[in-house]
Amino acid sequence: MGVKTLNISDIQGKKVILRCDLNVPISDGLIADDGRIVASLSTIKKLLDAKCSIVIIAHLGRPKGEPKPELSLLPVAKRLEKLIGVQVEFSESILEASHKVAQLSPGKILMLENIRFESSETSKDESVRSKFATALAKYGEFYVGDGFGAVHRKHASVYELAKLLPSAAGDLVRAEVEVLEKLTKSPERPYGVVLGGAKVSDKIGVILNLLDKVNLLAIGGGMVFTFLAAKGMKIGKSLVEIDLISDVRALLERADNLGVKIILPEDIVVAKEFNAISTPTVVSSQDIPDDQMGLDIGPKSALIFASEIKNCKTIFWNGPMGVFEFPNFANGTKVVAKALTEVDGMTVVGGGDSAAAVRKLGFKDNEFGYISTGGGASLEYLEGKELPGLAALS
Ligand code: AMP
């Protein structure tokens, strides 16, 4: 998908609306991981250098169309101000910001409050979204789409607004698309995909699309138990999506026919309860006791996953191998992350949450080939779906 690239001559000195993805994890007003803000800096700097005045539109969480103080973007504006060294004005009102926009001089930034505080942003009704986008379009002469984590959403500020003004993709979106294009068009082989996280239903589409493209598929996380159940194994109290068992069975059969190597864990770290203090025990994945639930891939499996990963020339990884938030169940994710850092080839960590997980476990961004800011967006791209936010910039 060829997105339009940003030409300085098109934007020099203009009032630019910049759609960013600044959806960072925040608790009690504190930003736990500012990766997405940092990833947005390149385009912002470029616009400042071109003497643009910038109106930033972004979202935080899912406020469902009404103001929620805990989801205000104000702490994000403050962090951006610190990182970029330029004052960031803030407008609590989204629809009545014209006055502040008019006062914005070249080289200055104004951030609007969480765009999802307005229900029109995410409305299913196209005419509602269009009307909202028309109101937003008055804030600028040019639209730059750089919120990669939201490009799979047909939302007013991502899709309709991009079509109302002259537009281009920002540096982050361009970099993300370049990496994903490489993964879909010309991956160096062997090409392995490692998937984890909570649900199979979120990822079955991408797995199906990838089966005839990859050489290896390694599965861990909560989603693996639907795979183990599909193979007739006992999974105790582990997470499972019963209605997907037959789909997973068909998928495994197709992988077999295509000669794709599927790696499932041989051992599992189980516990009686889903909490940080529950006692971990390692059992065979063939036989998880009825009163236990699987919360991580076992140590033997982690080593097998790591060795398979290190044999690959291209790796895409999305989703933790276990409940990494609890130290007792973080080993699988840690070992897999470490293996990625040792691959002699291209490694892509897909997803804001996976990125936050590797940082929380002590890894540095530059230990990986590329850390994508968009989980859902990168998965949908790999699934082969058309992403509205990219289509609007093409
Ligand atoms: P996702 O957003 O689908 O990538 O899922 C991430 C979440 O999956 C993390 O918060 C993990 O704690 C959770 N997770 C990983 N493994 C398991 C498991 N075995 N059981 C329950 N949840 C898990």
Dihedral pair phi/psi, residue 296, rounded to 5°: -165, 160
User: What is the predicted pLDDT for the residue at 351?
Assistant: 76
pLDDT of residue 29 exceeding 90, the answer is no
CB 280 within 8 A of CB 297: no
Which residue has the least CA distance to atom 11 on ligand 1? 323
What is the CA 376 to chain-centroid distance, rounded?
5
CB 15 within 8 A of CB 104: yes
Dihedral pair phi/psi, residue 213, rounded to 5°: -115, -25
Work out the pLDDT band at 352, boundaries 50, 70, 90.
Answer: low
- For 7, other C-beta atoms within 10 Å of its C-beta total 10
Which residue has the least CA distance to atom 21 on ligand 1? 222
Name every residue whose Cβ is closer than 8 Å to that of residue 385 and which is 6 or more positions away in sequence: 152, 205
Which residue has the least CA distance to atom 1 on ligand 1? 197
Which residue has the least CA distance to atom 5 on ligand 1? 197
Distance 74 CA to ligand 1 centre (A): 29
Nearest atom within ligand 1 for CA of residue 238: 20
Active site residues: 36, 199, 352, 376
Residues contacting ligand 1 via CB (< 6 Å): 196-199, 202, 221-222, 239, 294-295, 319-320, 322-323, 325, 353
Best residue for ligand 1 mutational test, from 323, 329, 379 (most atoms within 8 Å of Cβ): 323
Distance 281 CA to ligand 1 centre (A): 18
Nearest atom within ligand 1 for CA of residue 199: 3
178-182, 200-204, 299-303: segment of lowest average pLDDT:
200-204
Distance 332 CA to ligand 1 centre (A): 12
- State the residue for tokens 């630019």: 16
Nearest atom within ligand 1 for CA of residue 203: 3
269 to each of 32, 278, 293, 373, how far by Cα in Å?
A: 27, 11, 8, 29
**Mean pLDDT for the stretch of residues 142-167:** 98
Domains of the chain: 8-174 (3.40.50.1260), 187-382 (3.40.50.1260)
User: What's the whole-number average pLDDT of the chain?
Assistant: 96
Each residue's pLDDT tens digit, 205-214: 889 988 999 9
Distance 8 CA to ligand 1 centre (A): 42
174 to each of 6, 44, 102, 155, 329, how far by Cα in Å?
A: 9, 14, 30, 20, 36
Distance 300 CA to ligand 1 centre (A): 20
- For 327, other C-beta atoms within 10 Å of its C-beta total 12
Each residue's pLDDT tens digit, 75-100: 999 999 999 999 999 999 999 999 99
Work out the pLDDT band at 345, boundaries 50, 70, 90.
Answer: very high
DSSP, residue by residue, 324-376? TTSGGG-HHHHHHHHHHHT-SSEEEE-SHHHHHHHHHTT--GGGSSEE-S-HH
Nearest atom within ligand 1 for CA of residue 220: 16
Each residue's pLDDT tens digit, 214-255: 999 999 999 999 999 999 999 999 999 999 999 999 999 999
Prediction pTM value: 0.89
DSSP, residue by residue, 116-151? GGSGGGG-S-HHHHHHHHHHHHTT-SEEEE--GGGT
User: What is the predicted pLDDT for the residue at 353?
Assistant: 74
Each residue's pLDDT tens digit, 97-134: 999 999 999 999 999 999 999 999 999 999 999 999 99
Distance 334 CA to ligand 1 centre (A): 14
Task: Output the CA angle 316-321-326, nearest 5 degrees.
Answer: 135
Which residue has the least CA distance to atom 20 on ligand 1? 222
CA nearest neighbour of 25 among 58, 61, 57 = 61
Nearest atom within ligand 1 for CA of residue 351: 4
User: What is the predicted pLDDT for the residue at 5?
Assistant: 94
- State the residue for tokens 């960072």: 24
Distance 221 CA to ligand 1 centre (A): 6
pLDDT > 90: percent of the chain: 90
**Positions of E strands within 159-245:** 167-169, 191-195, 216-219, 234-235
Distance 180 CA to ligand 1 centre (A): 24
Beta bridge partners of 168: 144
Nearest atom within ligand 1 for CA of residue 221: 16
Work out the pLDDT band at 357, boundaries 50, 70, 90.
Answer: confident
Work out the pLDDT band at 356, boundaries 50, 70, 90.
Answer: confident
